[in-house]
Amino acid sequence: TKSYVRFFGDRLASETTHRDMLDWRRSELERISKRSWNTYSGHLRTVYRYAMEHGLVDLKVNPLKETRVIPAKRPKKTVNTDAIVRARNWLNILVQEERATGNRTEITPAWFWLAVFEMFYYTGIRLNALICLRYADIDLGQRLIRVRGETEKTHREFMIPIPDGLMPHLKRLMDIAQRVGFDPADQIFNVNRFSGHYSRPQMNADQVEAMYKKLTAMTGVRMTPHRFRHTIASEMMRQPERNIHIT
């Protein structure tokens, strides 16, 4: 690697020692993460092993042996329950405020974004899958949401059961969509169809992420649809009896 050549110059591989590698490691850790160092040293350790096994270098011990470091623990990608409750309560307050005053709030229309929030919370659906859902993909009678294969990175089609907590939000979404004249193939989660303040024909990921940035600012906890997927998966690991389909 470039960093190896930069540190050792034209020194031959057979002339490097374990102490040299520790000195190099100390130098590298001033500018790169511990995980990056482990990746670099792991690749180079394999190169040295190959060279030693094939007699290309005169070494008895791999100088990269025992040079790994313990990386910092990665932060959890889940959203804690308290933050979820605070975000939900705030959205409900915004719904009531818009209903009482007729004025727009920070996240508008609040009822729509509350439905989006609950959809991610209860199903763990992928962002792209949610954006691609059509009016005809939601069957309230059978309490099922159809995720089409062409919208999934796994290319498989499946059904998601609608939990009780999500049902009233989807019913309101479908009722209003019917009133404004949605066709079966129309994008159902399309904020632009439910508010005159938007002009795009289709809702995109940027609009969803913008809403989550506002929730993050309000709660002080990073929230994204992907983190909701991690959260619901973690909950199911703790409660295997929970009958929710992880998409």
User: Rounded distance, CA 233 to CA 161, Å?
Assistant: 16
User: Rounded distance, CA 214 to CA 106, Å?
Assistant: 8
Range of the domain at 30: 2-53
Q: Are residues 85 and 180 in the same domain?
A: yes
In a domain, 73, yes or no: no
In a domain, 58, yes or no: no
Q: Are residues 208 and 99 in the same domain?
A: yes
**pLDDT computed for residue 150 by the predictor:** 81
Q: Are residues 37 and 97 in the same domain?
A: no
**pLDDT computed for residue 230 by the predictor:** 55
Q: Are residues 85 and 160 in the same domain?
A: yes
Q: Are residues 9 and 88 in the same domain?
A: no
Which range is least confidently modeled, 25-34, 121-130, 186-195, 238-247?
238-247
157-163 LR contacts (CB < 8 Å, sep 24+): 158/245, 158/247, 159/245, 160/123, 160/125, 160/245, 160/247, 161/243, 161/244, 161/245, 162/138, 163/122, 163/123, 163/244
Grade residue 244 by pLDDT with cuts at 50, 70 and 90: very low
Question: In CATH, what number is assigned to the domain containing residue 101?
Answer: 1.10.443.10
CA 69 to chain centre: 27
Model confidence, pTM: 0.67
Q: Are residues 126 and 24 in the same domain?
A: no
Instruction: Count up the domains in the chain and report the number.
Output: 2
Q: Are residues 110 and 230 in the same domain?
A: yes
Q: Are residues 49 and 85 in the same domain?
A: no
Q: Are residues 156 and 41 in the same domain?
A: no
In a domain, 165, yes or no: yes
Of residues 14 and 184, more confidence is placed in 184
User: Among 129, 146, 126, which Cα is nearest to 137's?
Assistant: 146
In a domain, 102, yes or no: yes
User: Rounded distance, CA 109 to CA 89, Å?
Assistant: 15
In a domain, 64, yes or no: no
In a domain, 244, yes or no: no
Q: Are residues 108 and 41 in the same domain?
A: no
